[in-house]
Chains A and B, each alone.
Chain A
Amino acid sequence: MSQPSSAAQVADEVRRIISPADLEAYRRELLTKNDPNAPKVIVCCGTGCQASGSLDVIDAMKKAVAEAGWEGKVVPRVKRTGCHGFCSRGPLVVIEPMDLFYQQVSVDDVEEIVKTTLIGGEPIKRLLYKPPDSKEPVQRVAEIPFYSKQSRIVLKNIGKIDPFNIEDALTHGAYQALAKCLSSMGPRQVIDEVMNSKLRGRGGAGFPTGLKWDSCARVEGTRYVICNADEGDPGAFMDRSLLEGDPHSVLEGMAISAFAVGSNRGYIYCRAEYPLAVRTLTAAIKQAEAMGLLGDNIMGTDFSFKLTVSTGAGAFVCGESSALMSSLEGKVGRPRPKYIRSVEKGFRDSPSNLNNVETFANIPDIIFKGADWFKSYGTERSAGTKVFALTGNVHNVGLVEVPMGSSLREIVYGIGGGIPNKRELKAVQTGGPSGGCIPIPAKFLDINVGFGKLAEVGSMMGSGGMIVMDEDTCMVEVSRYFINFLVEESCGQCSPCREGLTRMLEILTRITQGEGREGDIQLLQEIGTFTNSFSLCGLGTSAANPVLSTIRWFPEEYEAHIREKKCPSGVCKKLFHYEIQAETCTGCGLCRRKCPVQAISGEKKKAHSIDQSLCIKCMECYKNCKFKAIKVL
């Protein structure tokens, strides 16, 4: 793996910032040194693109650029960045200032990019992105609907700055908001600004951030500021992208919070499964401390703030605030049975302000540009934007940031590019394992995504996971899947959560295996309602949401499983079989060739048929038939 170039930069002579005004002076100095319009080759090195080989691409690119003959032209800078969000198209390369977007770039393409594009100034057609519904490729980033339909304010620097290079972050405005606090605002004013912005926590519960800071500031004691970077929802990677792509925005948000509540000690609780995030954070803290932007006497003032990264042991429940604090103290990560808020008695029984990564990342701009600017995004009740990790049966899988209150239609079709393979949309799941499945068709496609609206239909905002499900998704199986996840992730200490989940899993398993009984739906509702109201922590009190919401919106699917012993979506293997419709089958023979167990037979151009005794229900024929001749029965 290539090492971040900045390790050397820390060792170099470090410029210490001696006052808030000095930061601005230095930023101007950097801007004249690094012309923002100079040619650049930006290679995404987020975790997704790294997995598809971007580190090799960047190494090859550096080498090729160094070896090419530039004949008086400005030599472009090759730069690594965090995740651009469009992971399904990685490795991604952006060429500036042309704003050219190349996708699925491999080492073999590098030479051609240097020759044709960087030297010759011509785009390479085959590396351009083609939206699913058009034949013509798109050249510029700004023209790609996936990007152009987003409002990137939290993610604004991601994909633009080198996360291992603090100078790059400074040219993009890092620490300006902290300088503003230190030079012209008091703690009270900062809290008021955050309160006024109506920012609500992005970690799931949506608690007003300003109010939390205010309560924390009012409690006497050694105060702590803690960042929740545990992000345990399966499929979610909003926080990881922020930490890996723009760590200074999170660090600056935490420093501002510390200034506001009166703390000089902070921790980032980051899950151990995010090694790149831990490395970026550690490097960023080191660089910021060396420059006097964190640590003792920040920017020459008497405000000090020391930050440490602590890694979690990878339990979903450790994201719960009291379990997180126990774990941070070195104890078992189990939620605490105390009716006391952590702003009063949290980490080490001291007043502690815990916020989510994305919440902190929103802070610098709220302070720098003001609460009114922030409120110009989103709705009356849910201000600002939200980052979602869009996954599932949708064309464009990746990170999307939209104003609060955007419709699901806009997210799934506008940005996500719709459902692949000509399938119909069935449901969208938000809120992680404890969210609900919002059933889409006609009914809720135009629902505005915000804290209140999602709760109304039985789901929740959660931290921003969004799974799109098409018509081939069985809702009973979806609910079984999530309950199975929680059965393992519950801490197990309190009986409603532990026993309720055990029983719900048992009932759902038997329903999906064709052994459902009359009365099972009512029993699931009884247990679910009980678990959601008698459990100790937030995991238990939302654990039954997937069950309750799928029963609420898809009762007919449960009934089909229980009464007719049928899985209408063709997922639960014991409850369906495939049949080839003789009227529609053209006898093309594709299914016969695809079937791994030779269960399909038929003559050319004549209707084929499936031998049910051989079929293993692997879906190959169903997925591949171009004429939709195979039916689930």
Chain B
Amino acid sequence: MSQLVEQIRHVCALGALQSVLAIERAVPVLHAGPGCGQKLWGALGLDNGCQGSGYVGGHSVPSTNITEKEVIFGGDKKLRETIENALKVIDADLFVVLTGCTSDIVGDDVGEVVREFQDAGKPVVYAETGGFKGTNIYGHELVLEAIIDQYLKPSEEIEPGLVNIWSVVPFQDAFWTGNLKELEKLVSEIGLKPNVIFGPGRGLQALNKVPKAQFNLLVSPWVGVKNVQSLEEKFGTPYLHYPVLPIGPTETGKFLRTVGEYAGLDSKRIEEVINRHENEYFYYIERSADVLLETRLLPRRFITVADSFYTLGVSKFLINDMGLLPETQFITDDVSPEHQEKIEEEFKNFIDGISSEVVFTNDGGLAQETIRNIKFRGRPLILGSAWERVLAEDINGYQLSISMPLSDRLVLNRSYVGYEGALRLVEDIYSLVLQDFQ
């Protein structure tokens, strides 16, 4: 991680409370300062695509609200009391205790307290997510590890065709519900039975099925590798790691073929699915081509300042399908060093030998400084976060927020994944350009 951070694009590990909230009827119980929950929810939820409280988020999240007393004398008692009463008051199926900086520094024995509840048969697990330990993306992995370790039970039988899908980080990616749904849809169209634990209508029923899967499908540049490895270790479930979020026909076709082949599916069926989608996709592209090809409408160069999911996925789409040219791409989700090389490889691997420079930094200040020093001919397209609004004005670029913080958009079920998602992205980018002419 960078030393100092200006304009943050992720939060701290405790931000994984939002990953818990993404599982229907699961509730985080914070062992943290009184303000942590509100700030993290504000950053990842409310002010990030207007993703509000939902069922039990926002100000409804139970929290010990640590004070001086707990810092000095320890917070075990306060935590025990809070869990006990949360079980009485809150109507939920799974309670995930998460620690913040204060309790991790003080050194409360959270594991011990939680085990008392587990021994009594209560659905309580815990993860130590003190903010200084890492980002909310790291925290997201910790939460999944905790659930795998402390909650999931091995399954007697394996259900053929059942595939767990792991991908974008809920709430960090404001489009997560739409994106996961789209992945689910694509996977089911080629004849598999997708299982996703996050989002509406899934919950513990989906979670409980995880150990039964034929394989785990991880669609992610790096986030979640640790989790699918753990699932393999614990339940013997193999995994397929597909590193690119598939956006647009080129990548989505490749994605479907890869999954199909891995699962041993009939390639004829997969080609049929791809064909049908491509026909539909190009029906719309054909209609819009007159306007798109109007030279003054096409920004030729683009920059992404986003999570690795989007920098990579969007770059692939804009270069391989839309014919744009890359400037530098900034990857802001604090990719751990061991994964950086592989991701960099992907950026050397576009059609026609095109490659793009990438910078790994979570310091938005640094990214913007670099962008200001680039000499653009024509107006660039900047796909980043709301932080880039002022920058775009200054350098006369087009700006669309796709990555956290998305404080300038309301996101419901929009997705940028697959064929449908690519069409949404084209709509959004070119509406922006058109509006500028009005």
* Chain B binds chain A: no
Interface residues of A (CB under 8 A from B): none
Q: B residues within 8 Å of A by Cβ? A: none
